[in-house]
């Protein structure tokens, strides 16, 4: 498991200067460009702001955007730092794969799978938190709120019962599920909720706003996701994509402080990379560059004292075959050279995060233990560098609502994120 960085004991992928510039650029985005919202969503948010904090979130009806002052952001970041110890260090499960796989192939997950996963997490020292790794409600109709709520509450019960006091951070959407999780939190259980509020292009999602507001007002700690995709919904260079992902996650964390001052939150930005050289533009969750991208964001947050939870799928194969095992061994040999807080998706997922296998998770955890004792001789990556055109590319892509045709993107396709 990762340990605190002790005076240079670990390598750096991004220098202190680079990480500071990424954080500064993210704050400038929130201060000067702001975050877009519909009038209806803006009104919902303004209604739930803490009375003493409302003045810090500036709403421009003309621009249709929220803006945060530097003073307000600095004060909120200080509050977030104070709850840093709430979040454990180590590895977590993550994601909500549509399918679970076993010896019979892919299928829809059932509650017995959730119980097995929870028991394994509870028995595994390396795993310090659980979000789930698949969606037990994947076959429930969207409008069957009662059934969805029952499933969410049943999952929460299994997590609490079997994970032996570890952090539980399910993805929940129903009012009953949120109240249920909040009740466990009030009893002293270590819980949080995995959320996002920005979908793409620094715009608050209409669909995600209500779950965010309900969860934060209930006082449940939040794991704040964001996932811009290089070349599609984000810029196509390492430092600029990290900047946008960091800004999107920070906005949710800062907004939560203005609604419920002091609420624990963690930066769970997990940007990823699209293979722009292929017609179907598949996502490269299991690529080495995707892992390093997430390590860079982890370093940004570690450098400013914020808790962070990033992603690192360990291989780029469609199943955990011999090649995937070799890739995973190399990834495991690499990641512990760098500093991070929590890494998710390392165990059990195939390259696209579409399916998940508990059998493979068990095999990969055993492999990690062997590699931790005897790491492979993996070459250190070249350090990340600052892209001087990256900030302008973010602005242009957001204004267009599309990063695919930017000159910046075309210039970097096949040159950035190359393993």
Per DSSP, the residues of 356-371 read E-HHHHHHHHHHHHHH
Confidence tier at 385 by pLDDT (50, 70, 90): very high
Sign (positive or negative) of CA dihedral 259, 262, 264, 265: positive
Q: Match 């070249």 to its residue by tokens.
A: 382
3 state SS of 282: coil
- 62 CB burial (10 A radius; 0-12, 13-18, 19+): exposed
The pLDDT of 205-228, averaged and rounded, is 97
Q: At CA 206, angle to CA 270 and CA 251, rounded to 5? A: 45
Length of the chain in residues, anyone? 419
Q: What angle do the packed helices 145-162 and 111-123 form, to 10 degrees?
A: 30
Helices (H), 284-385: 288-303, 322-335, 358-373
CB atoms under 10 Å from CB of 237, counted, come to: 26
Q: Please check whether residue 301 is in contact with residue 308, taking contact to mean a CB–CB distance below 8 angstroms.
A: yes
Q: Please check whether residue 360 is in contact with residue 345, taking contact to mean a CB–CB distance below 8 angstroms.
A: no
What's the mean per-residue pLDDT of the chain? 95
How far is 80 from 219, CA to CA, in rounded Å?
14
CB atoms under 10 Å from CB of 353, counted, come to: 21
How far is 220 from 388, CA to CA, in rounded Å?
39
The string of pLDDT tens digits covering residues 159-213 is 999 999 999 999 999 999 999 999 999 999 999 999 999 989 999 999 999 999 9
Q: Residue 152: what pLDDT?
A: 96
The string of pLDDT tens digits covering residues 27-82 is 999 999 999 999 999 999 999 999 999 999 999 999 999 999 999 999 999 999 99
- pTM of this prediction? 0.95
The string of pLDDT tens digits covering residues 83-114 is 999 999 999 999 889 899 998 999 999 999 99
In this structure, of 39-53, 268-282, 308-322, the range with the lowest mean pLDDT score is 268-282
Query: All domains of the chain, ordered by start, with CATH?
Result: 16-22+74-412 (3.20.20.480)
Give percent of the chain above pLDDT 90: 90
In sequence order, what are the residues at sequence separation of 6 or more whose Cβ sits closer than 8 angstroms to the Cβ of residue 25?
243, 247, 390, 391
3 state SS of 171: coil
Q: Please check whether residue 372 is in contact with residue 199, taking contact to mean a CB–CB distance below 8 angstroms.
A: no
257's tokens: 């402080």
Cα–Cα distances in angstroms (integers) from residue 155 to residues 29, 54, 100, 395, in the given order: 38, 35, 16, 41
How far is 138 from 116, CA to CA, in rounded Å?
18
- Which residue in 259, 277, 299, 248 sits closest to 409, CA to CA? 277
Confidence tier at 9 by pLDDT (50, 70, 90): low
Q: Residue 236: what pLDDT?
A: 96
Q: What is the DSSP letter of 274?
A: B
């Amino acid at each position: 498991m990762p340990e605190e960085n002790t005076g240079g004991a670990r390598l750096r992928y991004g220098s202190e200067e680079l990480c500071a510039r990424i954080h500064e650029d993210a704050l400038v985005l929130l201060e000067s460009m702001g975050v877009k919202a519909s009038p209806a969503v803006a009104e919902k948010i303004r209604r739930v702001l803490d009375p003493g904090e409302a003045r810090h979130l500036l709403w421009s009806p003309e621009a249709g955007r929220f803006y945060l002052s530097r003073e307000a952001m600095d004060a909120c970041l200080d509050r977030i730092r104070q709850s840093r110890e709430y979040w454990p260090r180590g590895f977590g499960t993550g994601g909500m794969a549509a399918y679970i796989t076993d010896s019979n192939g892919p299928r829809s997950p059932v509650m017995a799978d959730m119980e097995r996963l929870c028991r394994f997490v509870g028995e595994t020292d390396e795993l310090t938190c659980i979000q789930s790794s698949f969606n037990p409600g994947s076959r429930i109709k969207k409008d069957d709120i009662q059934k969805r709520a029952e499933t969410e509450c049943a999952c929460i019960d299994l997590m609490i019962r079997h994970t032996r006091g570890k952090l539980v951070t399910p993805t929940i959407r129903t009012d009953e599920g949120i109240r249920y999780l909040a009740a466990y939190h009030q009893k002293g259980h270590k819980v949080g909720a995995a959320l996002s509020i920005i979908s793409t292009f620094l715009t608050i999602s209409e669909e995600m706003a209500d779950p965010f507001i309900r969860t934060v007002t209930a006082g449940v700690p939040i794991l704040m996701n964001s996932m811009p995709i290089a070349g599609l919904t984000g810029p196509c260079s390492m430092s600029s994509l990290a900047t946008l992902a960091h800004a999107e996650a920070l906005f949710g964390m800062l907004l939560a402080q203005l609604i419920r001052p002091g609420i624990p939150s963690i930066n769970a930005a997990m940007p990823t990379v699209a293979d722009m050289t292929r017609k179907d533009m598949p996502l490269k969750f299991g690529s080495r560059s995707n892992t390093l991208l997430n390590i860079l964001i982890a370093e940004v947050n570690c450098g400013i004292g914020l808790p962070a939870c990033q992603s690192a799928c360990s291989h780029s194969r469609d199943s955990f075959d011999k090649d995937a095992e070799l890739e995973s061994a190399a990834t495991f040999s690499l990641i512990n050279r760098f500093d991070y807080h929590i890494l998710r998706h390392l165990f059990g997922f195939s390259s696209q995060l579409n399916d998940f296998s508990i059998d493979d998770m068990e095999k990969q955890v055993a492999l990690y233990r062997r590699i931790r004792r005897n790491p492979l001789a993996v070459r250190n990556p070249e350090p990340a560098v600052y892209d001087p055109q990256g900030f302008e590319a973010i602005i242009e892509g957001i204004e267009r609502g599309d990063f695919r045709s930017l000159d910046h993107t075309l210039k970097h396709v096949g040159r950035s994120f190359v393993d």
